[in-house]
Amino acid sequence: MHAFSTMRSLAAASLIVCPALLGTLPAVHAQDVTLEVWSHEADEPAKVAFRELAARSLERAHSGVKVKITWYEKNPLFAALKTALPAGKGPDVFYLEPDQVEYISAGYIIPLDDLVNWNNIEPWARKVWTHNGKTYGIPQEAYTVELYYNRDLLKKLGVALPANAQFTQAQFLDLVKKARAAGMTPISQGVGDRPYPGAYLTVEALLRKLGPDDYQKLFTGKLSFADPRVVEVLQWVKEVVDAGAYPKNFMTLKLGESHYYFYTKPGALLLPMGSFYTGRAFVPEDKGGQPPDFPLGIMQFPSMDRGACNECKTSTIGASFAINAASKQKQLGAEFLNAMSTPQMGKMWIETVYLQTGIKADVKSFSGPHATYFTELMERQKGEKYFIGQPRDMVTGECKDTFAQVLNSGFPGGLLSVDQAVGMMNKACYKG
Instruction: Report domain extents, the chain.
Output: 3-141+318-363, 145-315+386-429
What single-letter amino acid sits at 272? P
Helix (H, G, I), strand (E, B) or coil at 378: helix
Q: Look at strands 33-39 and 65-71 and give their pairing.
A: parallel
Provide the β-strand partners of residue 147: 272, 299
Provide the pLDDT for residue 374: 83
Helix (H, G, I), strand (E, B) or coil at 326: coil
- What DSSP element (H or E) covers 268? strand 268-274
Neighbours of 333 (CB within 10 A): 26
Cβ(352)–Cβ(50) under 8 Å? yes
Provide the pLDDT for residue 362: 82
Provide the pLDDT for residue 31: 60
Provide the β-strand partners of residue 316: 143
Helix (H, G, I), strand (E, B) or coil at 16: coil
Provide the pLDDT for residue 101: 94
Helices 45-61 and 330-339, packing angle to 10 deg: 120
Q: Please give the CATH number for the structural domain made up of 3-141+318-363.
A: 3.40.190.10
Rounded to whole angstroms, the Cα distance separating 96 from 227 reads: 34
Provide the pLDDT for residue 352: 86
Q: Would the CATH topology of 3-141+318-363 be identical to that of 145-315+386-429?
A: yes
Rounded to whole angstroms, the Cα distance separating 186 from 396 reads: 32
Rounded to whole angstroms, the Cα distance separating 145 from 196 reads: 12
- What DSSP element (H or E) covers 135? strand 134-135
- Which segments in the chain show pLDDT lower than 50? 1-30
Closest CA to 126 of 6, 136, 23, 335: 136
Q: What architecture (CATH level 2) is domain 145-315+386-429?
A: 3-Layer(aba) Sandwich (3.40)
Provide the β-strand partners of residue 121: 359
Cβ(297)–Cβ(263) under 8 Å? no
Provide the pLDDT for residue 364: 72
Burial of 235 (0-12, 13-18, 19+ CB in 10 A): exposed
Cβ(376)–Cβ(146) under 8 Å? no
Provide the pLDDT for residue 62: 94
CA distances from 418 to 289, 404, 411 (A): 37, 16, 8
CA distances from 22 to 4, 82, 382 (A): 24, 30, 34
